[in-house]
Chains A and B, each alone.
Chain A
Amino acid sequence: MSGFKDIMRQSARGLGFLALVIVVGAALALAEPRFLSPASLNGIARHMAANGLAALGLTFVVIVRRFDLSIPGVAAFAGMSMGAVIAAGAPLWVAIAAGIAIGAAIGLVSGVAISRFGLPDIVTTIAVGSICAGMAFLYTGGRSIFQNFFQVGITDLNDARVLGLGVSLWILLAIYAVAWFVMQRTRTGVAFYATGENPVAAHFSGIATRRYIALAYVLCAICTVLAVLLILAESGNAETNKGANLMMPAYAGVFLGAAILGGTSVLATLGGILLITMLLDGFALMGVPYYYSDGMISLILLAGVLAFSDSARNWLNSFAMVRAARHAASGEKG
Chain B
Amino acid sequence: MTMTLTRTATARPHSTRRRLSRLITNLWLVAALVLMTVMIASQRPQLLDPGNMVAILKSFSIMVMMILGLTWVIAAGKIDVSFMQVAALSNMLCAWGLSQGWGWWPAIAAGLAAGLAVGLLNGWLVAVMRLPALIVTISTASLCASLAAALGKGTVIRIATPGPLASLLEPHFGDAVPLIMLPVLALAALAWFVQERLTMGRYIYAMAQNEAAVRSVGVPVVGLTLVLFVFSGVCAALAGIILAENLASGQPMIGGPYLINGLTVVLLGGMMVHVGKPNILGTLTATLFIGVLFSGAALLGLPDYQRQIIQGALLLSGLVVAMLAARHHGERRKGG
**Chain A residues in the interface with B (C-beta under 8 A):** 67, 69, 113-115, 117-120, 122-124, 126-138, 141-142, 199, 213, 248, 251, 255, 289-299, 301-302, 305-306, 309, 311-312, 315
Q: Given A294-B146, A295-B143, are A127 and B305 also a contact pair (CB < 8 Å)?
A: no
Report yes or no: B146 in contact with A295, Cβ–Cβ below 8 A.
yes
Which residue on B lies nearest to A295, using beta carbons? Answer: B146
Q: A130 touching B312 by the CB < 8 A rule?
A: yes
Which residues of A have CB within 8 Å of B143? 294-295, 298-299, 302
Residue in chain B with minimal CB distance to A312: B129
* Surface stretch bound by A, among B29-37, B50-58, B259-267: B259-267
Query: Is A298's CB under 8 angstroms from B139's CB?
Result: yes
Nearest 6 CB-CB pairings of A with B: A118-B335, A295-B146, A291-B149, A137-B305, A134-B308, A131-B312
B residues near A306, Cβ cutoff 8 Å: 125, 129, 131
| Closest B residue, CB atoms, query A255 | B135
Contacting A at CB under 8 A, from B292-336, are 303-313, 315-316, 319-320, 323, 334-336
Whether B316 and A302, one on each chain, are in contact in the complex, defined by CB atoms closer than 8 angstroms, is no
Which residues of chain B are near A138, meaning CB under 8 Å? 305
Cα distance A115–B320 in the bound complex, in angstroms:
13
CA distance A148 to B146 in the complex (A): 36
Q: Are B146 and A311 in contact (CB under 8 A)?
A: no
Do most interface residues of chain A lie in helix, strand or loop, or is the interface mixed? helix
Question: Is there contact, CB below 8 Å, between A123 and B263?
Answer: yes
Q: Nearest Cβ in chain A — how far from B319, in angstroms? A: 5
- Give 5 pairs: A residue, B residue, CB < 8 Å, sorted on A: A126-B315, A129-B312, A130-B311, A131-B316, A302-B143
Q: How far is the CB of A80 from chain B (nearest CB, A)?
A: 11
**Cβ–Cβ contact A119 & B323, under 8 A:** yes
Query: Which residues of chain B have C-beta atoms less than 8 A from A301's C-beta?
Result: 135, 139
Contact between A120 and B309, CB atoms less than 8 A apart: no
Which chain B residues in 154-194 approach chain A with CB under 8 Å? 154
Least Cβ distance of A283 to chain B in Å? 12
Q: Is the CB of A292 within 8 A of B146?
A: yes
Complex contact B312–A127 (CB within 8 A): yes
**Residues on the A chain within 8 Å of B206, using CB:** none
B-chain residues with CB within 8 Å of residue A199 when the two chains form the complex: 336
Task: Determine the chain A residues whose CB is within 8 A of the CB of B323 once the complex forms.
Answer: 117-119
> How many angstroms between the C-alpha atoms of A246 and B216 in the bound complex?
42
CA–CA, A133 to B146, complex, Å? Answer: 22
Q: Quick one: closest A residue to B136, CB to CB?
A: A302
Which chain A residues border B141 with CB–CB below 8 Å?
A: 298
Question: Nearest Cβ distance between residue A83 and chain B, in whole angstroms?
Answer: 16
- B128 interfacial by beta-carbon distance below 8 Å: yes
B319/A127 in contact, CB under 8 A: yes
User: How many inter-chain residue pairs (CB < 8 Å) link A and B?
Assistant: 144
Residues on B close to A: CB < 8 A? 79, 81, 125, 128-131, 134-136, 138-143, 145-147, 149-150, 153-154, 252, 259-260, 263-264, 267, 303-313, 315-316, 319-320, 323, 334-336
Pick the residue among A114, A126, A135, A295 that contacts B147 (CB under 8 A). A295
> What's the minimum C-beta distance from B30 to chain A, rounded to whole angstroms?
24
Give the Cβ gap from A229 to chain B, nearest Cβ, in Å. 22
- Residue pair B154, A291 in contact (C-beta under 8 Å): yes
CB neighbours of A131 from chain B (8 A): 308-309, 312-313, 316
Q: Other than A130-B311, A131-B312, A251-B138, give 7 A-B pairs with Cβ distance below 8 A.
A: A118-B323, A119-B323, A127-B263, A132-B312, A296-B146, A297-B142, A301-B135
A113 to B317, CA, bound (A): 11
Minimal beta-carbon separation of B16 from chain A (angstroms):
35
CA–CA, A129 to B311, complex, Å? 11
Cβ of B310: which chain A residues have Cβ within 8 Å of it?
134
CB-defined contacts of A305 to chain B, threshold 8 Å: 131, 135
Do A290 and B154 touch across chains, with their CB atoms under 8 A apart? Answer: yes
**A124 pairs with B136, CB closer than 8 A:** no
Whole-angstrom distance between the Cβ of A304 and the nearest chain B Cβ:
10
Assuming A131-B313, A292-B146, A302-B125, is B259 touching A126 (CB within 8 A)? Answer: yes
Roughly how many angstroms separate A137 CA and B309 CA in the complex, as a whole number?
A: 10
Q: Does the CB pair B146–A315 fall under 8 Å?
A: no
Please give the distance in Å from A102's CB to the nearest CB on chain B. Answer: 15
Is the pair B336, A118 in contact by a Cβ cutoff of 8 Å? yes
CB nearest neighbor in A for B145: A294
What is the CB-to-nearest-CB distance from B327 to chain A, in angstroms, rounded to a whole number? Answer: 8
Interface hub of A118, A136, A297 (most chain B Cβ within 10 A): A118
- CB of A293 to closest CB in B, whole Å: 7
Q: Please, which residue of chain A has its CB at the minimum distance from the CB of B154?
A: A291
Do residues B308 and A133 form an inter-chain contact, with CB atoms below 8 A? Answer: yes
Q: Which residues of B contact A137 (CB under 8 A)?
A: 303-305, 308
CB distance from B221 to the nearest CB of A (A): 15
- The chain A residue sitting closest to B319, CB to CB, is A119
Q: Which residue of B lies closest to A67 (CB)?
A: B134
Which of B125, B150, B304, B316 touches A291 (beta carbons < 8 Å)? Answer: B150
Selected from A118, A133, A134, A289, the residue in CB contact (under 8 A) with B154 is: A289
B256 CB to nearest A CB, Å: 9
Chain A's closest residue to B155 (CB) is: A291
